[in-house]
């Protein structure tokens, strides 16, 4: 993807999945590419498993941190229903959905007031180019379930025209030193998943 053109990315999931950290790494990587970057985040009730969404925009010049509905190039979702919740942001044509292959029932489903959509993967496919990522399984292989966010970010990185050193430098800037090596491994595993 051309770096000078404004790229719009929504990152979404539920509280505690590392969405804000992933968006911070993405923003830092874009800064390292000397791009103008804007970010906005909403995380009401995030610590109770509520919905979390960040808007990340970068390019030669970005004027607003918010993305209009129907203008998102990529949805990076940490849970399938959260991807579905924000599909109205995705471009009608050429929009890409990268989603963790995980279902977390919301409270309305847990109390029996609603049901989790049985055919949600099929519904996601109808909206854009879908990449279902086995991020949980890959994180278990790395023996650290907290790396799911960085594995997903690694998959997203394969669509962007950033240098590897920009990503690795961003990871070093945003993550405690003792976890940097683990997260670089998770990021590289995410990149490899797209190529498999």
DSSP string for residues in 55-123: EEEEES----S---TT-BSEEEESSHHHHHHTGGGB-SSS-EEEEES-----HHHHTTSS---TTHHHH
- pLDDT value, residue 50: 79
What distances in angstroms separate CA 46 from CA 14, 28, 130, 173, 175, one per listed residue?
Answer: 6, 23, 26, 24, 20
pLDDT at position 17, please?
Answer: 84
β partners of residue 39: 56
Orientation angle between helical segments 148-157 and 19-32, nearest 10 degrees: 40
Cα(117)–Cα(110) distance, integer angstroms? 13
**One digit per residue, pLDDT tens: the chain, 196 residues?**
667 799 999 999 988 788 999 999 999 999 999 999 999 987 666 566 678 899 999 999 999 999 999 999 999 999 999 999 999 999 988 899 999 998 888 878 888 888 888 899 999 999 989 999 999 999 999 999 899 999 999 999 999 999 999 999 999 999 999 999 999 999 999 999 987 6
C-alpha 27/C-alpha 97 separation (Å) is 19
d(CA 3, CA 102): 31
Give the span between the Cα atoms of 158 and 118, in whole angstroms: 30
At 1 the pLDDT is 62
Q: Which helix (H) or strand (E) holds 164?
A: helix 164-174
């Amino acid at each position: 993807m051309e770096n000078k053109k404004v790229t719009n990315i929504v990152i979404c999931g539920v509280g505690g999945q590392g969405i804000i950290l992933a968006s911070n790494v993405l923003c830092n990587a874009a800064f390292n590419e000397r791009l103008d970057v804007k970010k906005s985040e909403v995380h009401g009730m995030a610590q109770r498993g509520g919905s979390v969404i960040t808007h990340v925009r970068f390019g030669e010049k970005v004027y607003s941190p918010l993305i209009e509905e129907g203008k998102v190039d990529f949805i990076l979702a940490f849970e399938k229903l959260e991807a579905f919740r924000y599909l109205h942001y995705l471009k009608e044509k050429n929009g890409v959905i990268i989603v963790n292959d995980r279902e977390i029932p919301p409270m309305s489903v847990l109390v029996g007031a609603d049901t989790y959509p049985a055919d949600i993967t099929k519904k996601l496919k109808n909206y854009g180019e879908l990449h279902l990522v086995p991020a949980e399984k890959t994180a278990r292989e790395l023996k650290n379930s907290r790396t799911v966010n960085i594995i997903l970010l690694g998959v997203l990185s394969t669509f962007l025209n950033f240098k590897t050193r920009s990503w690795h430098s961003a990871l070093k800037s945003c993550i405690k030193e003792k976890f940097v090596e683990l997260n670089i491994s998770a990021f590289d595993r995410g990149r490899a998943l797209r190529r498999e």
